[in-house]
């Protein structure tokens, strides 16, 4: 491992691709059918793997089967638009010598749907860590620690870009410098949970971020 190598670790939904509103609507509709009626349910589970969601809130095997089918059907049909400025910011990181990874709670099935629409993503990153590759879901730091290891970086030399509270905590617990995106949660609720809060990547310069 290169102790001086810098890394940038990105969550996927709500950070690189604009898909969180679709998932919010999905869970707001589906969860009550299976007994989860809390008005904040869709927000409470953001950043969590599907396996953890099912095991925690829908332990019945038949419910798990039905919900998994609904999720994968949704993921096969929806559009995965990349946020403005993402490609340019990734290019700036590469030019600055950063190694880059994605750390997502999405499973491998969803990732294949994504790569079908955005094929450039498959080879653009030095590592892609999915929910299928970790035992512990965010806010556990396992995914970010694994990503840092896979790209040859100390976590302390990495940025973590996140939009969910679970993801922000995972990044902090990994020891990284956490950057919050106000794409899913309002800026005022993110203040104090990250080194800095940004609205997105459009026009973002590395000089605007804390040094690592």
pLDDT band at residue 1, thresholds of 50, 70 and 90?
low
* CATH topology assigned to domain 7-19+82-208: Rossmann fold (3.40.50)
Strands ordered across the beta sheet of 7-10: 127-129, 99-103, 7-10, 158-162, 177-181, 196-198
pLDDT of residue 95: 97
pLDDT in tens, 64-111: 999 999 999 999 999 999 999 999 999 999 999 999 999 999 999 999
pLDDT in tens, 2-60: 678 999 999 999 999 998 888 999 999 999 999 999 999 998 898 888 999 999 999 99
Alpha helix stretches (DSSP H) within the chain: 20-30, 41-44, 50-57, 61-77, 86-95, 108-117, 120-124, 142-150, 165-174, 187-190
Asked whether residue 188 carries a pLDDT value surpassing 80, the answer given is yes
pLDDT of residue 118: 96
DSSP 8-state secondary structure symbol assigned to residue 107:
-
Task: For CATH 3.40.50.1000, list the domain ranges present in the chain.
Answer: 7-19+82-208
Give Cα 185 to chain centroid, integer Å.
Answer: 14
pLDDT band at residue 205, thresholds of 50, 70 and 90?
very high
Question: What is the pLDDT of the chain when averaged over all its residues?
Answer: 95
Give mean pLDDT, residues 189-194: 95
């Amino acid at each position: 491992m290169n102790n001086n190598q810098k890394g940038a670790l990105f969550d996927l939904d709500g950070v690189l691709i604009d898909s969180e509103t679709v998932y919010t609507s999905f869970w707001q509709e589906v969860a009550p059918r299976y007994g989860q009626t809390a008005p904040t349910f869709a927000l409470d589970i953001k950043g969590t793997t599907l396996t953890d969601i099912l095991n925690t809130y829908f332990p019945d095997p038949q419910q798990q089967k039905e919900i998994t089918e609904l999720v994968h059907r949704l993921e096969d049909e929806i559009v995965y638009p990349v946020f403005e400025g993402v490609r340019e910011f990734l290019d700036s990181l590469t030019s600055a010598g950063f190694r880059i990874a994605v750390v997502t709670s999405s499973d491998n099935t969803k990732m294949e749907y994504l790569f079908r629409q955005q094929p450039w993503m498959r080879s653009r990153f030095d590592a892609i860590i999915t929910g299928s590759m970790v035992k512990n879901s965010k806010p556990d730091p396992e995914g970010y620690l694994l990503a840092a290891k896979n790209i040859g970086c100390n976590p302390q030399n990495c940025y973590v870009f996140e939009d969910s509270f679970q993801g922000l905590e995972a990044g902090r617990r990994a020891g990284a410098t956490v950057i919050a995106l106000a794409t899913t949660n309002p800026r005022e609720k993110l203040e104090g949970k990250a080194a800095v809060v940004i609205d997105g990547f459009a026009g973002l310069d590395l000089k605007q971020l804390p040094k690592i």
